Amino acid sequence: MKSAFPGFPQEGLDFFRKLQRNNRRDWFQPRKPVFDATLKQPMRELVAAINVGMKTFAPEYVTDPDKAIYRIYRDTRFSKDKTPYKDHIAASFPLQGTPAGAGLYFAVSHKEVAIGGGIYMPAPETLRAIRHHVAERHQELRKIVAKPAVRQLYRAGLQGEQLTRVPKGFDPAHPAADLLRYKQLFLYVELNPDLATTSELYPTVVRHFRAITPFLRYLNAPLTRKRPALLPEF
């Protein structure tokens, strides 16, 4: 059966190798047509194919390729590293209508193929809602991340920066104390970069996304749940 995406051309990965050594505007600008032809356009085709695949198991995460694909330009305003370009191309698939919630992500470079999903830098109110959800339904989260497909594809398990103590407002002895300390919650894996140039890239990304869709739905549940209307005060 023919794959929905044949893989990135080797020239694309070679472009990133050269960019890493020549991360300057005067080098990139004359070669931008190469970037567009060997990386940006194939990425658009891959995202479109992934969207078709996700319609069967996660239609709420289907995202327009133009919105899904990150720009190659780095935001250097608050960084000591002033190199202007990223050495990878990436795309994210947020929950439709909830861009601040948990979403799917993958990136391609000459160093690795990265695939994952979850919530990386949640706003305080978002994290608070997720923590209360975890406190009430922590056993469900444990079952989700313990599923064979998740454990096989994401061997590092649940990841994310953690507090040293249980956050205020929760009992330090709470049975979900280990989960409540997370400031971020995501599943993530880095695969061999050679995968990027093969027809196996598309089914690999889809397989990884399918495995963690229940994890994303769990994280987004408290963010999409309708709050009960407040009774008027008399």
Angle between helices 124-136 and 138-145 (to 10 degrees): 90
Angle between helices 138-145 and 201-224 (to 10 degrees): 180
Residues in CB range of 54: below 8 A, 6 or more apart: 61, 62, 93, 206, 209
Q: Mean pLDDT for each consecutive 10-residue tract of the chain (234 residues)?
A: 85 98 98 98 98 97 97 92 96 93 98 98 96 98 98 98 96 97 98 98 98 98 67 32
Fold classified for 10-224: BirA Bifunctional Protein; domain 2 (3.30.930)
Joined tokens for residue 198: 């093969």
DSSP 53-64: HHTTT-GGG---
Opening angle at CA 92, ends 89 and 94, nearest 5: 170
> Helix (H, G, I), strand (E, B), or coil: what is residue 215?
helix
pLDDT, position 137? 98
Q: Where are the domains of the chain?
A: 10-224
42-74: burial string, b at 16+ Cβ within 10 Å, e else: bbbebbebbbebbeeebebbbbebeebbeebee
**How far apart, in whole angstroms, are the C-alpha atoms of residue 29 and residue 225?**
46
Predicted TM-score of the model (pTM)? 0.93
